Structure 1
Amino acid sequence: MLKSGVSSLAVIMTLVAFGLLVAAFLAVNSGVSMSGAPTFDPNPLLAPANGAILTDPSPTFDWLEATGGTGSVTYTLVITGPTATQSVTATASTYEVANPLSSGSYTWSVQAVDSTGAASGFVAPSAFSIQAAAQVYLPYLEKSACPVSSVAVYELIPFSGSPTDRPDSQHGDLNLALRGYNLTTAPKQLVNYSGGADSNAPRLAGLFNPNSLSAIPNVYRVNGWDWGCGAQGCATGPITDWDVTLLGLQTTQGQPIYIPERGPDIYGGGYKALVLYAEERRITLSYIREDTVAHGYAVHLENLCVDPNLLALYRSQIKSDGFRVGNQLPALRNDQSLGTALGSEIRVAVRDRGAFMDPRSCKDWWAKDVACSQGVVIDKEHPTGPFREELSH
């Protein structure tokens, strides 16, 4: 995150036995600032976000600048890991790790110190973890590039309303990678919520041909998004409305993946979904003919190979600055393949008027194709479509 007045980093790195340095810092400061010392706005720790699971062992730490104090301000960054604690003194409110962090759980916090030695006290820490790529992304699959050619044919349709007002790759509602997501320990099976169900909701079993529910290797929570943070917004902690907001589904590498089916057309010719965002290994679909996820159903798919012809068609509608060329985007029909599985798991998130829902909810996304009798019963309403609208009024 760029900030005014950022100077070059002056970094002092020390490694001490796990917990000793932080214990000393926190025992002395315990979040209490001295009179006239620099102060932070609430929740100043930006990245890594609280609860984030990172695969990059060299993350950049980013926090809001402190205000007040006397003279120049420096920052003390403390990173507590599985075996050691790092203390870093920096003159700017960002720090890029010089030596890769090992896999494990971490916490981090900062305090600001002015030229007189007055300190803000350490802010409430954030937690994150580093997971080696082999634990999450199956690195042997990285050696197999996605297909570079295809015989599939796709078409553009016009969308109604205005195009999105942000570059596509920097849009927190379009590019799920910006938010990130975290493994969670909720049951890896369908669940039965109460509440009404929309018969026209997307059918997630349609991801496969024939329609089916595969095994569920992992479940995740997608991170929230703060639109007021920085120029384009930034990720926050995991969304906690539901125990799961991203579902892993077992696949075989190269297996065709289709759009989740839906009844209503969004345009003549049987088109059901609009491609709002695509890159090589993720895609975002809208089930309305508008350039937004805010007014209808939307689906995010991760860890797949988007068909190269579909990707090329999408990119033809994006300018070099990430904004739309005009008012057309690719559209897809039921039973139309949009790509293939990258490896042993694809991941799917489903949204209803912007809100991330639980993709395990049998009555909402699976009931037309899968028996719900074996699902875990959860005494909580999970309404969709018009039923969700009624609940909100």
Structure 2
Amino acid sequence: MIGVTALARSVLADLCSCSSDPANRTRTSTLIMVAHAPTVKLAPSGQEMPLVGFGLWKVNNDTCADTVYNAIKHGYRLFDGACDYGNEKEAGEGIRRAIKDGLVKREEIFLTSKLWNTFHAKEHVKTLCKKQLADYGLDYFDLFLIHFPISLQYVDPATAYPPGWSTPEGKTITVDVPIAETWKAMEELVKEGLVKNIGISNFQGSLILDLLRVAEVKPAVLQIEHHPYLTQEALVQLCKQHEIAVTAYSSFGPMSYMELDFESAQKCPPLLEHDIIKKIASAHSKTPAQVLLRWATQRGVAVIPKSNNPERLEQNLDCCSFELTEEEVKQISGLNQGVRFNNPADYLNPPIAIFA
């Protein structure tokens, strides 16, 4: 269910109590944006997650703290990170500075992180989660996801961190740790108050159904690659049937992968320059980026774009202020080619074809 959060209602009350002191003006304008931001209620916790957030993938370490701080200043409340991104200490610095400066309270931030593949064994899940929280300098995550349904050989963080796909010797080695084992360890994080919600990322339908059979705490969120070239409509519908919220990454399609020189990204026309997207954007006096984000959010899918540009920061956050027509949604969805850019079968050696 999409709605306005209890937090937003309290924000509206805060607006009434704000004085005309110039020191409060930044917080007041930010509160106005947050108060009107749509959210999705997560099951089973009932916590409300912003529908538009800020993704931390590929945010440079030297600018990450300032980037997060400025995003909070512009009204962002959902931040999506992972230990694999290698910038959690810096992201935590930005969040803590914003809290210290009175821009936001901790309970107003929705922070997501992820369990990396080399920590799937039950004895490693909690250890990693606590390390990540220590890096952020915070007491809990609002959402903690299994990053990929791939169990890899454990690598001691003291040897190599942030973790990657390969051992220090350059080998990608899978191990026999079932998802059920990892999930039970994830559930312990909820019981101990280290995380409020747990979820999954890059899972397909059959694996989700299998997980639901053993889950005591059901997954609250599925995060997937999702854009007009890869609509995954059946998977999104399956999640709706089981009250699992969906978050999209790579909402702009090939853009994030072109600089990585992924062959699949080089072959696809950039979505931000596609004639259909540009025509719809012009009809609404919006940017192509806003149209792509609205295509997702209007269908109940959360988005986590990022930008260092202040104007684009505000535009992305404001992507829910207009409505696409039913025909426009169909036109955008009609661009689907089933093209996946983030596919371990393409970039690992040996390939791991989890989406086969």
TM-score by length of 2: 0.26
TM-score by length of 1: 0.24
Higher normalized helix content (fraction of residues): 2
Larger Rg: 1
Which structure carries more relative contact order (alpha carbon 8 Å, separation 6+)?
1
Higher normalized strand content (fraction of residues): 1
